[in-house]
A = this chain, B = another copy of it.
Amino acid sequence: MIAPSTYDALRDELASRHDELSKRLKQIAEYALDNPNDMALETVSEIAERAGVQPSSLIRFAKAFGYSGFSEMQKVFRSHLVENGSNYKERIRSLGRDDSCQSNSSSVVLDDFIDGGIAALNNLREVLNPEKLEQAVEALVDADVIYLTAQRRSFPIASYLSYALAQLDKRCVLIDGNGGMFFEQARSIRPGDVLLAISFKSYAAEVVQLVKETKSKDIPVVSISDGILSPLAQHSDVCLEVEEVEVHAFRSLSASMTLALTLVVALGRALDQAA
């Protein structure tokens, strides 16, 4: 039995042998994969307690993977802690330095998007008006059926909403334009329903038109869009504004997705209270 000497090798071993492990050992393997930092820094008894096992199990665990004892295995986790940290710092350094175009490594791209996503989320916190959110929830609580519509880049948000609303046992119809039947799908909307439309510039023509038509029938429209000047905002009862950050010519969806999620959870609570 030869013990893995690198963190990655150990992870692979943990995964590939996971099935053949006994109950406790499985439990430890899962804890180790979830909390590598604990494995690196904490003492045997502390880890044992957190993972809900006996200290001796940790030693048996280490031995099952070929180490002479827990301490030897811990070294592997520790080495990773050091390597990883320096990687990260180097990336940060290179990010600040050469913002020209040398940074073509994908991991630098990742850093950019992560920073962008964080910025977008912070921005969301600042600009979103809590009253509007409440208004949107109120409108949706009373809806008989929620009609969802979005196209292109925004479509995944509507798609997610359709999944999440179903979880809440809230009836909804996703107008996805499948089979070229965008307006046909929307035709069954009627008083008592609510349209929830999502679109960002450049605004999908079908969505804008549907919003206008629905509004003119006096059916409530809630929208998620990118500012008060959006054609959706003009014709909606409530418009929740999100500003997504653009990085490398692609726009993130973090903020919009988070808003969608919030809307769903807030709606879920409101529904619970109503019942």
Q: Which residues of A contact B (CB under 8 A)?
A: 8, 11-12, 14-16, 18, 29-30, 33-35, 37, 41, 78, 81-82, 84-89, 104-107, 109-111, 113-114, 117-118, 121-122, 124-126, 128-130, 133-134, 137, 152-153, 155-157, 159-160, 163-164, 178, 227-229, 233-234, 247-248, 250, 252-254, 257-259, 261-262, 264-266, 269, 273
Contacts and interface: CB of A to CB of B under 8 A. Distances in A.
A125 B88 contact: yes
A22 to B, nearest CB: 16
A262 B116 CA distance: 11
Contact of A84 (B15, B85, B273): B85
B228 A117 contact: no
Contacts of A89: 34-35
Q: Count chain B CB atoms within 10 A of each CB in A30, A133, A152, A253 and give the residue with the most.
A: A253
A250 B228 contact: no
A104 B77 CA distance: 33
A257 B245 CA distance: 13
A126 B111 CA distance: 10
15 contacts: A34-B227, A41-B82, A81-B85, A84-B85, A105-B134, A106-B130, A106-B133, A109-B262, A109-B265, A111-B125, A117-B254, A117-B258, A252-B257, A253-B261, A257-B257
Contacts of A114: 121-122, 124-125, 258
A134 B117 CA distance: 21
B253 A160 contact: yes
A137 B106 contact: yes
Contact of A107 (B107, B133, B229): B133
